[in-house]
A and B are shown apart, each in its own frame.
Chain A
Amino acid sequence: MRQQESASEETHPDLLDLGARASATAGNPFASRPCARCNVSIDSYRFLDFASRQVMKAWAAREHADRIPFTPLAKPLGDCTVALLSTAAVARNDDHPFDQAHERRDPWWGDPSYRVIPLGTTESDARLYHLHIDPRFGQADLDVVLPMRRLSELAHKGVVGRAAPRHYSIMGYILEPDVLVNETAPAIAERMHADGVDAAALVPA
């Protein structure tokens, strides 16, 4: 309990003020949701070159989420087993690489498979196969894209209950997500269930 209290003390004061945001929009008939887009100030395209920016905008424009799932956290974060999922196409050196050759032949295609990354895997045990990012940062320090060591430290401090024994990676460029949604994601979820995972943190790269 004491650990959780100190955890909330250390949280940045500007962070997560969702209650204030909700009450500020409560009387506004146009604010259907407390997290409406008017609260968006981050420029998604700030760090991208011109061509990448056009592709990303086009991609975002064609995505439409019909129904967004939501499962409330069932217990305090300090009791939760947490797993990570990186979209940086991380594969262990003793596992199959992500398929870069197919994407080079067919730029509209992206490898929809996943890899298991056991806790304790480091940058010397794995490679990044994502063709849309600079892999050298994650290659130099895997925690840049898949922060397993940082998660273990937070578990040690009691911020989270436990780092899951297994973490995951997919490759983040998938325009047609049928296989990802219908095969890959359920398979990952099933493995997480088997490991007693309470919460998954998805880390785009």
Chain B
Amino acid sequence: MIPDLTRAVGVPRLAAISYPLSRPLGNPHDADGQRAVLRAMLEVLTKATEPDTYVELPFVWPDSPTKARNESKDVPPSPIVELVMRKPWLLANLYSGRIPQREEHRYPSCL
């Protein structure tokens, strides 16, 4: 998943896993794999002794990142990704935290 982001928001304990977005527990109908991931995640509860505990779970995604991406390539990009693809300079707003508050500020050309 995206442990960088999960950690940045400040969770008490983080079980990181190198699985693709949309499939945090594994593939559909892989009950054994899902159970192993959930169990390993819950075990972190028993071992963690302080905030910001970071543990990497040792599971390996069975396919290449390219294959995982291709499996979802017909899903349209999210609205924000679609927006920054059209207007890449808006990415700076994300970095700086200048999230536009109102529609008219966001698209001044529409006024």
Chain A positions near chain B (C-beta within 8 angstroms):
7, 10-12, 14-16, 18, 33-35, 39-49, 51-52, 54-73, 76-77, 80, 82, 88, 103-108, 131-138, 140-141, 143-145, 147, 149-151, 153-154, 159-160, 173, 175-177, 199, 201-205
- Summarize B's interface: helix, strand, loop or mixed: mixed
Kindly provide the distance from the CB of B77 to the nearest chain A CB, expressed in whole angstroms.
7
* CB <8 Å contact, B28 and A58: no
Query: How many Å lie between the Cα of A73 and that of B96 in the bound state?
Result: 37
How many A-B contacts are there with CB distance less than 8 Å? 228
Query: How many Å lie between the Cα of A71 and that of B38 in the bound state?
Result: 20
Kindly provide the distance from the CB of B49 to the nearest chain A CB, expressed in whole angstroms.
7
* CB <8 Å contact, B38 and A151: yes
Q: Choose one: A54, A141, A145; the contact of B91 (CB below 8 Å).
A: A54
Query: How many Å lie between the Cα of A137 and that of B53 in the bound state?
Result: 29
Residues of B within 8 A of A88 (CB): 22
* CB <8 Å contact, A144 and B72: no
* CB <8 Å contact, B51 and A143: no
* CB <8 Å contact, B81 and A55: yes
* CB <8 Å contact, A58 and B56: no
Task: Give 11 CB contacts A-B under 8 Å.
Answer: A42-B3, A42-B18, A46-B65, A61-B95, A65-B10, A68-B51, A69-B51, A140-B28, A159-B39, A199-B45, A204-B6
Kindly provide the distance from the CB of B88 to the nearest chain A CB, expressed in whole angstroms.
8
* CB <8 Å contact, B97 and A71: no
* CB <8 Å contact, B94 and A18: no
Query: How many Å lie between the Cα of A59 and that of B45 in the bound state?
Result: 27
* CB <8 Å contact, B3 and A40: yes
Residues of B within 8 A of A59 (CB): 5, 94
Per-residue interface assignment for chain B, residues 73 to 97, with 1 indicating a CB less than 8 Å from any chain A CB and 0 otherwise: 0010111111111000001001111
Any chain A CB within 8 A of the CB of B9?
Answer: yes
Per-residue interface assignment for chain B, residues 38 to 57, with 1 indicating a CB less than 8 Å from any chain A CB and 0 otherwise: 11111111111111111111
Query: How many Å lie between the Cα of A86 and that of B81 in the bound state?
Result: 22
* CB <8 Å contact, A154 and B4: no
Kindly provide the distance from the CB of A60 to the nearest chain B CB, expressed in whole angstroms.
4
Query: How many Å lie between the Cα of A105 and that of B79 in the bound state?
Result: 8
Residues of A within 8 A of B85 (CB): 51
* CB <8 Å contact, B26 and A144: yes
With A18-B48, A63-B9 known, 11 other A-B pairs at CB within 8 A are A15-B57, A49-B69, A60-B2, A62-B94, A67-B10, A68-B52, A70-B13, A104-B79, A175-B99, A204-B1, A205-B22
